[in-house]
Structure 1
C-alpha cells in the first residue's frame, strides 16, 4: 500500500521529493505543482522515468502507470528506449532509400553508380516495398521482390538484394527497425543462380589489328574513343569522361584524376604516337563548352558505354569493351618480355599483396611508355577486315 494519500498531497507545501513506495515518488516544486517519477533499475542501470505532471496525473493514475512500467521491466522491456522508439518517425522504404542515397552518394566516385543505385530500387523494389514502413518489411516480402528477376536478371537481382539490405540496416541503425535486414534467410530460400565465369568476353589479341582496320573505315567520335581506349588499355568510363585539360601533348601524358579512377588514385598514362594521332583526329569534335575529348551528341555529356558497345554489336562481335584490357594483358604476357608488374601498372590494377604495395614506390612510367609504343605498333599491323561493317 502507498505511503501518500490525496489529502496529504493537497496539503504539501515544501518543495522536495516525497516517496509513495516501490520507486514511485512525487517531485514537488510548489503547492500542488510537481511531477511523478518512477525510479527503477533497467538492464543494470538506474533510471528515473517521468510519469506526468501532478496537475494532470492523479495519485491512482501514477500508481497504475508505475505498476505497468515495473511489469514491462520484468519482461525485459526498456521503457525509456520504448518511448523513444514510439516518438521516432518510422519512414517508408522509399523515403528511407532516398535518405540513404542522399547520405552515401557523395562517397561513390562513379556518377553512373550513383544513378543506378536508386534507379534499380525504383524499378524493382519500390512497386512492392515503397509505401511500406521499414519496420514492417521482413523476409517473405523481400523474396517476393527478388523472385521474378532472380534467374532472368541475376546480376541486377543481386544488386537489388544488396541495396534493400543496406536500406533496412540503415533503418535498424536509426532505431526504426527492431532487427537488421533478414538477408541471410532470404538467400536460403531463393533458387540457386546459374554460375558464370565472371570474366568479360575479350577479343583475342591476335584479332585486334584486324578490328583496328574496321575502326578506321569510318570517322566518328565513338570510333575514335574506342580506338583510344584500345591503345591506352584504359577503362570505358576513364576514356568517355576524359577532358583536354587532362592531356599534356608535349609530354605525351594523360593524367586521370583520382576522382575518376576505380582505385581512387591518380593514374598517369603514357601516350604512344598512335594515341596522339587519335587525339589530333578528335580535335574536330572539340566543344569548348564541355572540353570532353570525345563528346556525345549532346556535347556537354560524355558518350554512353552502350555507344561504344554498339560498335562491336554492329560488327557482329560477341566481345565487350572492357575485354580489350584483357586482350592487352594477354598480348603483353605472350608476345613480350615485359614484367607482369609493368602490365599491371599499365592497367592501374591494385596490388593484392599489402606488403608489396606498401614498399612499391614506382609506377614504371618509362617502361610503360615503351610497352604502350610496342602495343600501338602491334595494333597498327592491320589485317584485312573480314567481319561486317
Structure 2
C-alpha cells in the first residue's frame, strides 16, 4: 500500500537535494537547484503523465497543498482533467474581464495609439471633447461589447439634423473606436456605427438635412482691388496672407513655412507632407512676386519660420489672418475662400487645364485609375499658372498658357 502524508513541515524546511519528494496520492514537492521549492500534483490521463503546479512552498503551506491535491483527485474521480479545468477557468475570467472593458477605456486606448500620427496635436483634445459632450453621457461606462445600434442612434439622432457636420465626424470616431476594440478582441460582430450598408438605412444623408457651407470667397473681379489694399499693410501677417493667396495654399501650410523648405535657386517651395491635408510633400513653383515677399522676410529673419509670430521660434497665430480681415473690415470673406476665388478665376478667365489647377490646389485625385497613371506634378505648367495668377492679382490681364 502506498504511503501517504510522508512529508513534514520540518523535513521540507531543510536544504534538500534537487528532485521530486512524494507526499502520497499524487502530491509532490519539487526542489530545484538553489533550494527553491514548489508543489506539484502528478497524474496520468490518456496514457500520459501530467504535472500541475499548485504554487510555491513559501506561499502555499503543506496543509494547503494537500487540500489542493484533494480537489484535483475529486476531479479525476469525475473524469475531469485538472489542468484543462484550470485553463477553462482562466479563459472564463479573461472573457469576463474583457466584457467589462468600457467604451471610454477603448476610446482612451485608440487615442493613445493614434495621436502620434495625427498632424495636428489638437486632434486628441478635439476627439476627447466631442466624446465627452455627446457620447459619454449615453454610454461612457457601458462595456464596449454591449454597444449596439440603439445606443449609437441615441447619440446621433438628437444632433443629426441641427449639427450635421459634428454628428458625421462623431459617427466616424465611434466607428473607428469600435473597430479598434474588435481588433483588440474586446468585442465581436458588426460595427453599429458603420455608415454604408447600415446607418445609411437608419439616418438621412447629410446632404438631405444640412446644406454644405462653403468658405466665403471674394468675387474674381474684386481680387486686384483687394490686393492693392493688402499691399499697403506693412506687416508680417499681411505678407504671409498675400503669399498664401498667391500660392493658393491652405492657411496652415503658409503660416508654418520654414526657411529650409525654400529652394531659392530653383524658385521652389516644398511643403512637407506632415502639413499637407493629403499627407504627401507638395512642390510649389513660386511666382516672382512670391519670391520678392520671401526676400523681404529674409531681411527681418529671426528664426526658422518664414512668417514668425509674436513668440520666439513660433509661427503666426492661427487667428492672424482672421484678425487681419477684421481690421480691413472684410468680415464677409475668409482666407480659405481665396482658394475658391483662384479656382473660379482659373476656370473662367484662363485656358489652363483642370488637371493643372487641381495640382496647384494639391487636391487628392478621387479617380483611382487616373491616380495610378499620373506620374508627374505638371510643375512647369503650374509655374506658368502661378505667374498668371500673380499678374491678375496685381491688376494685369493674365497670360494664356
Q: Which residues of structure 1 form unaligned runs of 5+? A: 1-9, 20-24, 36-51, 71-77, 383-389
Greater Cα offset, 112-121 or 235-244: 112-121
Q: Which runs of 5+ in 2 are unaligned?
A: 1-23, 28-40, 55-66, 397-401
Quickly say closer, same or farther: Cα 1:141–1:285, change in 2 above 3 A.
Answer: farther
Give the match's secondary structure for 2:71: coil
Q: Select 1:328's aligned residue among 326, 335, 342.
A: 342
Q: 2:44 aligns with which of 17, 25, 39?
A: 17
Give, in whole Å, the separation in 2 of the partners of 1:283 and 1:115.
Answer: 35
- For residues 242 and 361 of structure 1, what CA distance do their matches in structure 2 show? 26
2:250 is the counterpart of 1:235: yes
Larger Rg: 2
Partners of 2:113 and 2:280 in 1: CA distance: 23
Aligned residues: 338
Contact 1:342 1:367 in 2 (8 A): yes
1:183 aligned counterpart, secondary structure:
coil
Secondary structure at 1:56 match in 2: helix
| Larger relative contact order (CA 8 Å, sep ≥ 6) | 1
- Per-residue deviation, 1:96: 1.7
Q: Against the structure 1 CA distance between its residues 112 and 227, is the aligned structure 2 distance closer, same or farther, given a 3 Å change threshold?
A: farther
Give the match for residue 337 of structure 1: 351
Q: Distance in 1 between matches of 2:364 and 2:282?
A: 11
Query: What pairs with 1:1-389 in structure 2 (closer than 5 Å)?
Result: 17-18=44-45, 29=51, 54-57=69-72, 59=74, 63=78, 82-88=92-98, 90-183=100-193, 194-197=209-212, 199-283=214-298, 286-288=301-303, 291-312=304-325, 315-381=329-395
Alpha-carbon distance in structure 1 between the residues aligned to 2:272 and 2:205: 40
Q: 1:82-136 deviations in whole A, cap 9, x for unaligned? A: 5542254843333221211121233334445454334432443344443443234
Change (3 A) 1:62 1:303: farther
Q: Work out the CA distance in 2 between the residues paired with 1:95 and 1:34.
A: 34
Aligned-CA RMSD value = 3.8
Please give the per-residue CA displacement for 1:54-83, whole angstroms capped at 9, x wherever unaligned: 4434526974989xx99xxxxxxx988655
Does the 8 Å CA contact 1:231/1:376 hold for their aligned counterparts? yes
Closer, same or farther in 2 for the Cα pair 1:15/1:128, shift >3 Å?
closer
Structure 2 CA distance for partners of 1:183 and 1:201, relative to 1, 3 Å = same
Quickly say closer, same or farther: Cα 1:223–1:149, change in 2 above 3 A.
farther
What is the Cα deviation at residue 186 of structure 1?
6.0
Contact 1:202 1:324 in 2 (8 A): yes
Q: 1:280 to 1:149 in 2, by over 3 A?
A: farther
CA distance in 1, matches of 2:263, 2:382: 17
Match of 1:298, SS? coil
- CA shift for structure 1 position 183: 2.0
Shift of the 336–28 alpha-carbon distance from structure 1 to 2, 3 Å rule, reads closer
The two structures have a TM-score, normalised by structure 1, of 0.72
2:164/2:210 contact within 8 Å kept: no
322-331 vs 360-369, which moves further? 360-369
SS at match of 1:268: strand
Supply the distance in 2 between the matched residues of 1:189 and 1:354 (Cα, whole angstroms).
30
Say which SS state the counterpart of residue 308 (structure 2) adopts: coil
Q: Is the 8 A contact 1:28 1:34 kept in 2?
A: no
Structure 1 match to 2:20: none
Q: In 2 relative to 1, CA 58–256 (structure 1 residues): closer, same or farther, beyond 3 Å?
A: same
TM-score (norm 2): 0.70
Task: Indicate how the Cα distance of structure 1 residues 331 and 80 shifts in structure 2: closer, same or farther if over 3 A, else same.
Answer: same
**8 A Cα contact 2:244 2:251, kept in partner:** yes
CA 133–302 in structure 1, closer or farther in 2 if over 3 Å, else same: farther
Deviations 1:156-183 (A, max 9, x none): 1211121122112222222222444422
TM-fit CA distance, 1:241: 1.4
Q: Structure 2: how far apart are the matches of 1:62 and 1:276?
A: 90
